[in-house]
Structure 1
Amino acid sequence: MAWNEPGGNSQDPWGSGNNKGGGKNQGPPDLDDAFRKLQDKLNSMFGGGKSGGSSGGNNDSGSFSGMFIGIIVLAIVAYLWNAVYTVDEKERAVILRFGVYTETVGPGLHMYFPPIESKYQEKVTELRTYNLRQQMLTEDENIVEVSMSVQYNIDDVQKYVLNVAKPLMSLEQATQSALRHVVGSSEMYQVLTQGREVMGQEVRKRLQDYQDNYGTGLRIGKVNIESAQPPKEVQAAFDDVIRAREDEQRAKNKAEAYANKVIPEARGKAQRTIEEANAYRDETVARAEGEAERFTKLLTEYHRAPDVTRERLYIDTVQTVLSNTSKVLVDVKGGNNMMYLPLDRLTQGKSSMPSGQSTDLSSQDLSDISNRVAEELNKRVNSARSSGRVGR
């Protein structure tokens, strides 16, 4: 039964005794008095006398024993304080017992027992960066100064702690080796211009292979080739070379763009010419076949009615010829001169119509022109006849 429960003996473990006043005047316990009583009890357990004894030797012995017990208690408290540890979410801890791997501890509150056990706590999710800047020799025996950064984190904390004594030093040396191998197998202009991204990927792959072979437990996230430039002593000459290469590439791009523009146009024109030739061929063949068919049919009609067909052919021919000329000469029967009909003058009023209006002659216009031609013919015939009478 607890000392402060109802029905208990009301014995205060801190040595304050029974509170006869009902607890009204009870205050905080006296720490010095409590420590003194604890010391007396420990002295009695180890054979020492009380601190308030009359013997001086027993008093000295009790004080020494109490001090020794206090030291032991403080040592135990300090031991427990150091044995308890906390692992964050981004951390992992490796526990070794007598130097042998025991377990990998995850996030939370844990405890280990040194020196029997040892603890190695590392941040596994934190992305770290290692920077490198060195001069290296390329495949074509040119010196370039390369600056790059390596981003990495701990992938396997057990390998990181146990396999390699100094994994970060191994990472630095492996980075230099991988970079020298890649730069040494590339030409200078590739390193200085368009080959940086490819070179970064090759360095990352080779560096990750090194780490896997060494068993460092590191994972290479990304390798950035920040800059690649020649030494300062020959910087101007290298800049001229780079500008010349850029001009060459620019000229090639312009030529390719012009070729890509001209070649399709030329191919289109050639294809159009071929299509036009095919169309002309088809049209000529079709016209020739049509003319041959028409001539065959016309020959059949000619055999049936030669006079009518001959007259019809003559009229069609005259119509075709006169439709393409603006001057007509008419031979008047019984006259000495040929009569000229200025059809261009007669149709001039019609041809001078405003633009946008149709210039085709309607049937009424043709009728008017025919009437004018007939009137002119009658006048000239009458004039010719009257002049013949006078001559008689």
Structure 2
Amino acid sequence: MSAKRLVTIIITSFIGIILLSAVLTSWYTVDESEQAIVITFGEASDPITESGLKFKIPWPIQKVEKLSKETFSLRFGYKQAADGEVTSFDKETKMITGDDNIVLTDLVVQYKITDPKSYLFNSESPQELLHDATSASIRSVIGNSKIDDALTSGKGQIEADTVELLGSLIEKYDIGITVLSVKLQDVELPNAEVRSAFTAVTDAEETKNTKVNQAEKYENQKLSEAIGEKDAIISNAIGYKTARTEQARGDVALFDKIFAEYKNNKEITKQRLVMETLDAVLPNAQIYIMNDDGGTMKYLPLQPVESTKQTTPPVAPETESENGSGQ
């Protein structure tokens, strides 16, 4: 084989390799869970988020960087192996509270890559920068919190304050990351004896809260009962007032009618009122109206004649012979 033919074979092979490389690097695919950046001589394009087959200029003119759209988790203060074993870093998580107590605090930060261009080009190690920002944020928040809040009911507020502070720091760093949430995993005291004492204090606090809740429940119950009794008394009083008012109106209407009759016939009305009053005052008494004009005494029984007959036994009449013998 001549040298010229050997050179031709080498050149042809090199051209073939270049063409094959151009064909293989002129297309790429984007999955639904991915976003891509096409980089042309170091200049990044806008993110490509639509999935499917894409084409580009072959390497080395253009290259593609793919980043995931999923939510990432940054573990601060501990590391969890694939077999589930957890390794804690107490030196990293040891912090001082606002009331000069020491606590161990580890947490999980959830975030997403929302700006691939900033993530790739604005920092050499975005995750390391996020870790440092997390450390600064949680230490600042814990330093402004009391130990009781950090260990008991104040965890939610600490998480919210940390998210706010960490989010503002990441926004200033402009590394293409958005912080979604911060979740405290363990907040505990560094000493077993101190933990035991604080547990006793926490139990006492819970007992106190239980007693306070029971007292408030009893207070609310008694207050509700008192309000119910008050409303019942007021309702009864309103009803009594209404009844008395209506009765008074009826009495006034009756008086007006009697007064009108009185003006028409004073004597008859006066006698009627006297008899009705006597009958009301002495309902079971037998009342007679006597009229003595110097002759035979006459009387008018007010009770019905039939009732008088039933209650008074009959008297036998006297005969003339008996009268004559009596004389």
Normalization by structure 2: what TM-score? Answer: 0.68
Correspondence 1:235-384 to 2 at 5 A: 235-288=195-248, 290-291=250-251, 294-295=254-255, 298=258, 301-302=261-262, 305-323=265-283, 328=284, 374-379=309-314, 382=315
Relative CO higher for 1 or 2, CA cutoff 8 Å, sep ≥ 6? 2
- 8 A Cα contact 1:94 1:157, kept in partner: no
Instruction: Indicate the residue corresponding to 1:132 in structure 2.
Output: 76
Give 1:316 deviation, angstroms.
1.9
Gaps of 5+ in 2: 78-92, 289-303
Give 1:228 deviation, angstroms.
2.7
- 8 A Cα contact 2:23 2:58, kept in partner: no
Correspondence 1:192-211 to 2 at 5 A: 192-211=151-170
Aligned equivalent of 1:227, options 177, 186, 190: 186
Partner SS state of residue 104, structure 2: strand
Partner SS state of residue 105, structure 2: strand
Question: Aligned residues: percent identity?
Answer: 23
Give 1:79 deviation, angstroms.
5.6
- 8 A Cα contact 1:87 1:93, kept in partner: no
Q: Do residues 185 (structure 1) and 144 (structure 2) align?
A: yes
Matched residues in 2 for 1:304 and 1:68: separation? 149
Q: Map Cα deviations across residues 181-218 of structure 1 (whole Å, 9 max, x no partner).
A: 22222222322333333332322222222122112111
Deviates more, 1:263-272 or 1:288-297: 288-297
Give the residue type in structure 1 aligned to 2:59: F
Partner SS state of residue 139, structure 1: coil
Give the residue type in structure 1 aligned to 2:311: E
Matched residues in 1 for 2:265 and 2:16: separation? 147
Q: Closer, same or farther in 2 for the Cα pair 1:372/1:236, shift >3 Å?
A: farther
Instruction: Indicate the residue corresponding to 1:47 in structure 2.
Output: 4
Larger radius of gyration: 1
Give the residue type in structure 2 aligned to 1:132: F
Q: Do residues 170 (structure 1) and 129 (structure 2) align?
A: yes
Give 1:175 deviation, angstroms.
0.9
Give the residue type in structure 2 aligned to 1:88: V
Matched residues in 2 for 1:242 and 1:166: separation? 42
Gaps of 5+ in 1: 1-39, 49-61, 333-366
Q: Do residues 143 (structure 1) and 102 (structure 2) align?
A: yes
Q: Do residues 157 (structure 1) and 116 (structure 2) align?
A: yes
Matched residues in 1 for 2:108 and 2:158: separation? 13
- 8 A Cα contact 2:47 2:116, kept in partner: no
Report how many aligned residue pairs link the two structures: 285
Matched residues in 2 for 1:297 and 1:75: separation? 129
Q: Map Cα deviations across residues 69-119 of structure 1 (whole Å, 9 max, x no partner).
A: 69857864786588556342214134252xx425357463545434xx574
